[in-house]
Structure 1
Amino acid sequence: MSNTVLEKAAVLFAERGFAGTSLRDIAEAMGMTRPALYYYFNSKEALLQELVRGVTGSGSQELRRLRERTDIGAAEKLRVVVSTTVARIAESPLRFRLLERNEAELPAEILQEHHTSKGRILDELTKIIADGVRSGEFRPVDERIAAFSVIGMINWIAWWYKPDGPSTPEEIAREMYEMASRGLVRGADRMPASGVEGAVALLREDLTHLERLVSAGGSAS
């Protein structure tokens, strides 16, 4: 029932804005009294905070646990990030749109929590990509720019995904991982565009990776 209340609240917040929605509105939309709604949430701020934690809070915690795993490599971690995030957004895209549309109306404490969680998600994904670059699994890219690109690509699902559309969440996740991996995984797309020119480009990529390794070794000593 609490998840149903959250979904209904997300709909009303998205339609009317957070400031324009009262707890009475949510209770009436649920077909229950306000005292009955208090059993689940005692204020609309509590409802909103739970929505924030479900969207960005839990995501940042899951990403940290994934980054700390030692049984899989960076490419597999990236695949898991893409697949789980796509699935979460596709399950409830309205919740993601709600937060983006109503950030200016969020109470200061909830807004801070939301921004902190978003920052942690970016940091954790940046570290996963940086680990892949250091190990040689990923190309020598700017880790933060790459992380922003992956997050931006996935988050747009909330605006265009439709359950009755032509692609399932699993198909979308596979396609998005394919695009992300071609830009990051070393060897994923290493066919030279033209003989010598293409070979030189690959050598430059390898040289950049070597320079990073040498630089990291020097700074660590």
Structure 2
Amino acid sequence: MPKPTVRTSGRHDLILDQLLDAAEGLFARQGVAGTSLSELADAIGLTRTGVYHYVKGKDELLEHLVRGFTLETADKLTDLAGEVSRPADVRLREGVSSMAKRIAEHPRRFRLLLTSEDSFPEAIAKQHRAARRATLDAMITLIDQVKAEGGARPVDTRLAAFALLGVTNWMAFWYQADQVGDRTPQQVADLLTSIALDGVFSQRADSVDSLKGVVALLHEDVDRLSQFVDGPSG
């Protein structure tokens, strides 16, 4: 009688990560429908039967990919939006940075989700769409909270939310470790977050001791509000 397979949680997680890595490449090249479970097994040196010790099939692999990015991102931002005892600008910065870091660590995996979502099975697609809506809603809430605390420019909240999400999502298409010097994913994420939030955060805190600086910012805000009210010229 064969000995039962011994699976420690550490080994299970390691093999599952290897399966997810293999799925990234194969799904991206061949599509989900065009990739067989045998190909996934061959890619990491397992038998087809061996794969079933870790996942039930390709749909479960897809669900792991969606959960690891879309659902966890939505949960993180939703939690941050609810932590109203902390300053909103700190929470918004943390949320954008955490999204950027996660994408920098696995750009190909996130790129696959962005480009393959139309081919997801309906049950997974439904989770994916709901999580994306929750992410947008949480981002909007965080920006509104920053505005309510006086820490934001008079930006259009929804457009600002789309802009911040777009900046982080686009990392999946350009980020490569050999193009950012010796910076870690966290360092890159923090730098990108600072650049992105410059268009949202007010600089008044840095100018309170300068009347001229305050007046300049007031003029800037009036100009922005005028553009928003009047709309594009021509």
Q: TM-score band (shorter)?
A: 0.7 to 0.9
Match of 1:118 among 132, 141, 144: 132
Correspondence for 2:219: 201
Cα deviation for residue 67 of structure 1 reads 1.3
Match of 2:81 among 67, 77, 89: 67
Find the aligned partners of 1:8 and 1:41 in 2 and give their Cα distance: 13
SS at match of 1:184: coil
- Structure 2 unaligned spans of 5+: 1-14, 227-234
Cα deviation for residue 111 of structure 1 reads 1.3
Aligned residues of 1:139 and 1:205 also touching (Cα < 8 A):
no
Which deviations, in whole Å up to 9, do the C-alpha atoms of 1:151-188 show, x marking residues without a partner? Answer: 10111111111122224223322322222232111226
Is 1:87–2:105 an aligned residue pair?
A: no
Find the aligned partners of 1:200 and 1:4 in 2 and give their Cα distance: 54
Find the aligned partners of 2:89 and 2:220 in 1 and give their Cα distance: 20
Aligned residues of 2:154 and 2:225 also touching (Cα < 8 A):
no
Which deviations, in whole Å up to 9, do the C-alpha atoms of 1:105-148 show, x marking residues without a partner? Answer: 11122112111111111110110001111121112221111010
Aligned residues of 1:82 and 1:176 also touching (Cα < 8 A):
no
Which deviations, in whole Å up to 9, do the C-alpha atoms of 1:196-217 show, x marking residues without a partner? Answer: x946524638999xxxxxxxxx
Correspondence for 2:160: 146
TM-score between both structures, scaled by the size of structure 2: 0.79
Question: Where do residues 30-179 of structure 1 align in structure 2 (5 Å cutoff)?
Answer: 30-167=44-181, 168=183, 169-179=185-195
May I ask how many residue pairs the two structures share in their alignment? 207
Which deviations, in whole Å up to 9, do the C-alpha atoms of 1:45-103 show, x marking residues without a partner? Answer: 11111111111011101111111113421211122112211211111111111112212
- Classify 1:75/1:23 alpha carbon distance in 2 versus 1 (closer, same or farther; 3 Å): same
AA of the residue aligned to 1:132: V
Find the aligned partners of 1:6 and 1:199 in 2 and give their Cα distance: 49
Aligned residues of 1:122 and 1:148 also touching (Cα < 8 A):
yes
- Structure 1 unaligned spans of 5+: 209-221
Query: Root-mean-square deviation (CA), in Å?
Result: 2.7
SS at match of 1:102: helix
- Classify 1:57/1:203 alpha carbon distance in 2 versus 1 (closer, same or farther; 3 Å): closer
Correspondence for 1:2: 16
Aligned residues of 2:103 and 2:110 also touching (Cα < 8 A):
yes
Give % identity.
36
Find the aligned partners of 1:206 and 1:152 in 2 and give their Cα distance: 22
AA of the residue aligned to 2:88: A
Greater alpha carbon shift after TM alignment, 77-86 vs 166-175: 166-175
Aligned residues of 2:81 and 2:138 also touching (Cα < 8 A):
yes
Find the aligned partners of 2:82 and 2:224 in 1 and give their Cα distance: 27
Aligned residues of 1:97 and 1:159 also touching (Cα < 8 A):
yes
